[in-house]
Every structure is written in C-alpha cells, then in structure tokens.
C-alpha cells in the first residue's frame, strides 16, 4: 500500500469544497461502494489486514457489528488492546464538508486537523476526545458519503501502531477503501 500524503490546514473551519469531493477519484479508479458497510461491515478487512492493523494473531481479535444509527460499521478489538473501527455515519456529518463545518470542528475539538488523501480520495486525519493518543480518519467515499475510521483505547506495548495510531488508522482506511472498490 502507498504511504499517506498529508498537508496540515491552517484556519479553524477550513475544509474541502464540494467540487473537490466530486472529482476526487483518480481517472479509471472505481468509486468505493459505502453501501456495502451496511451489508457485512465486519468483512471490510481480510484476516491478513486485521493482523496488520489490529493485532497478530488475528484469531484473538473479536469483531463487533454496529448496525444501529448513528453509525453502521464494525469494531475490531484485541484482548487488552485498542479498538479499531470502520463505519459509515448514518447522521450528519456525513461528508468531509459537513465535518469541517460541524460545531465540534469550529470549537477546535478535532485538533490537530490534517488534509490528506487515501487511495486517491480526499481525507481528513484528526483527533477527538482531547487526546492525540486516539486518531480518526474520514474519507470522502462518494459525493454524499464519507467513511470514518478510528483507533482508540489502550495498546499493548508490542502493538504495531502503539506509537503511530494515525499511521495505523490510515492503513486501515486504505485497506477498507481498496476492498470496497
């Protein structure tokens, strides 16, 4: 998988415009199908991808389906480890533009905030809950729908992403987007 490109944005409420989201895919690339998140969200990552992103061996990771609003998706949890989640918001914010204009963003609750791209799609890397230990990524999958990814909680010292949660969540986002194409 390609490394994630990042650009830090200045200004508290700056975000990608609607035109950018509409033309975000590379020519010849199939648009992801976020509707698949509703069908079987815990199949969004393969066994090898769970091992690479959540924990190895993947047999010790439990998957929990989230099938009620406000989000639809899956959380993968390793014993005594972090919680990795891939989801599709069912309520606003549902796009990067809505996320950028949200009250939480305007109150600087998502700092630091970094614009990037994941597999050719516009994305935002941000932190929630007042901690840079947790990391979230929102990817504009279609004109009207973003997908969100996060890694939160405590890690075992040997976890691959213990010192780089944003790297782990970006790898998870890239894997899921690739699997949805």
Instruction: Compute CA 169 distance to the chain's CA centroid, rounded to the nearest angstrom.
Output: 6
Q: Residue 149: its pLDDT value, please? A: 95
120-135: burial string, b at 16+ Cβ within 10 Å, e else: ebbbbbbbeeeeeebb
Closest C-alpha to 18, from 83, 97, 124 = 97
pTM (2 d.p.): 0.78
Q: Residue 174: its pLDDT value, please? A: 95
Three-state SS for the chain is: CCCCEEEECCCCCCCCCHHHHHCCCCCCCCCCCCCHHHHCHHHCCCHHHHHHHCCCCHHHCEEEEEEECCEEEEEEECCCCCEEEEEEECCCCCCHHHHHCCHHHHCCCCCCEEEEEECCEEEEEECCCCCCCCEEEEEECCCCCEEEEEEECCCCCCCCCCCCHHHHHHHHHHHHHHHHC
Q: What is the pLDDT along the chain (181 residues), one digit of tens a residue?
A: 333 333 333 333 333 333 332 333 344 456 677 666 677 889 999 999 998 888 878 888 899 998 877 778 999 988 777 788 999 998 899 999 999 999 989 888 888 899 999 999 999 999 876 666 788 999 999 899 999 999 887 665 556 677 788 898 999 999 999 998 8
Q: Residue 32: its pLDDT value, please? A: 73
Closest C-alpha to 173, from 14, 27, 34, 19 = 34
d(CA 48, CA 30): 23
What's the chain's length in residues?
A: 181
Q: Residue 11: its pLDDT value, please? A: 34
Q: Residue 15: its pLDDT value, please? A: 36
d(CA 81, CA 85): 13
Q: Residue 26: its pLDDT value, please? A: 42
The token duo for 112 is: 């630091």
Question: Phi, psi (5° rounding) for residue 171?
Answer: -65, -40
Q: Residue 171: its pLDDT value, please? A: 93
């Amino acid at each position: 998988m390609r490394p994630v490109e990042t650009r830090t944005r200045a200004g508290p409420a700056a975000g990608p415009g609607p035109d950018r989201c509409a033309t975000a895919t590379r020519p010849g690339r199939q648009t992801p199908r976020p509707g698949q998140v509703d069908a079987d969200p815990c199949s969004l990552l393969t066994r090898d991808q769970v091992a690479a992103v959540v924990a190895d061996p993947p047999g010790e990771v439990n998957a929990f389906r989230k099938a009620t609003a406000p989000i639809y998706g899956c959380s993968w949890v390793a014993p005594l480890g972090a919680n990795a989640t891939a989801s599709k918001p069912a309520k606003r914010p549902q796009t990067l533009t809505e996320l950028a204009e949200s009250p939480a963003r305007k109150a600087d609750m998502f700092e630091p905030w970094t614009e990037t791209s994941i597999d050719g799609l516009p994305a935002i890397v941000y932190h929630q809950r007042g901690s840079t230990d947790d990391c979230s990524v929102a990817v504009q999958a279609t004109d009207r729908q973003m997908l969100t990814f996060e890694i939160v909680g405590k890690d075992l010292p040997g976890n691959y992403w213990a010192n780089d949660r944003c790297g782990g969540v970006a790898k998870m986002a890239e894997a899921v987007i690739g699997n949805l194409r």
